[in-house]
Chains A and B, each alone.
Chain A
Amino acid sequence: NAGVTQTPKFRILKIGQSMTLQCTQDMNHNYMYWYRQDPGMGLKLIYYSVGAGITDKGEVPNGYNVSRSTTEDFPLRLELAAPSQTSVYFCASMGYSRSIKDTQYFGPGTRLTVL
């Protein structure tokens, strides 16, 4: 199993450009999450999904969009990049068991710079 994979690893965007951050998991997990991590700020939840076709906003959704057409994929879309979106983006997935609390597995991250 590859776990959670993210592409690209690094990207530089100009203000106003758009891009999609890709996230794929091969663990057949229901739950998927997008976080951003700024220096000294921990991780902030952008969007999450509890299953294919279902998405919901997290703490900091403005400027982002997501879709979940399959169990495996959860892309994050930036339509009009702004310098405030410079950050490291992490995708995570989690299975679901009613008997124990499952673990969130994180991808390696995408480092995005908007100039």
Chain B
Amino acid sequence: TQLLEQSPQFLSIQEGENLTVYCNSSSVFSSLQWYRQEPGEGPVLLVTVVTGGEVKKLKRLTFQFGDARKDSSLHITAAQPGDTGLYLCAGDEYGNKLVFGAGTILRVKS
């Protein structure tokens, strides 16, 4: 099973600050997904990146897939309290199975 290392594990910032979450592996994935999970709920997909070097933007969130398809990052600009939650990256092991990172708990204080 391929492993995904996610960092940092926990991030507490003030409203308006920027932040970046990293997801790294020594293995190649066919695609990589980012999820956001709120307490008491299941993860909800934010984005899927497929092509090496791909950059996708979702309002204040920017997702990047590494050129070698081994790593990814999530950058949030001007974080808001509503961004608070658990962010999970998940790599697609060719075969319709996902490998999840341990997650980054983000807390945005107003």
Contact = CB atoms under 8 A, between A and B. Distances in A.
A101 B98 contact: no
Interface stretch (B13-21, B35-43, B60-68, B76-84): B35-43
Given A59-B1, A101-B31, A101-B50, A40 B9 contact: yes
Nearest to B105: A40
A92 interface: yes
B42 A90 contact: yes
Contacts of B98: 33, 43, 45, 104
A41 interface: yes
B41 A43 contact: no
Contacts, number: 56
A101 B97 contact: no
Interface string B42-62: 111100101000000000000
Interface size class, chain A: 20 to 34
B79 to A, nearest CB: 22
B108 interface: no
A43 B41 CA distance: 13
Interface residues of B, number: 26
A33 B6 CA distance: 22
B43 A43 contact: yes
A76 interface: no
Given A45-B97, A50-B96, A101-B30, 16 more contacts: A4-B42, A35-B100, A40-B102, A40-B103, A42-B6, A42-B101, A42-B103, A43-B43, A43-B98, A45-B99, A94-B96, A96-B96, A101-B50, A103-B48, A104-B33, A109-B40
Q: Which 7 A-B pairs have the closest CB atoms?
A: A106-B42, A42-B100, A43-B100, A42-B102, A103-B45, A101-B31, A106-B43
Interface of A: 4, 31, 33, 35, 40-45, 48, 50, 58-59, 90, 92, 94, 96, 101, 103-104, 106-109
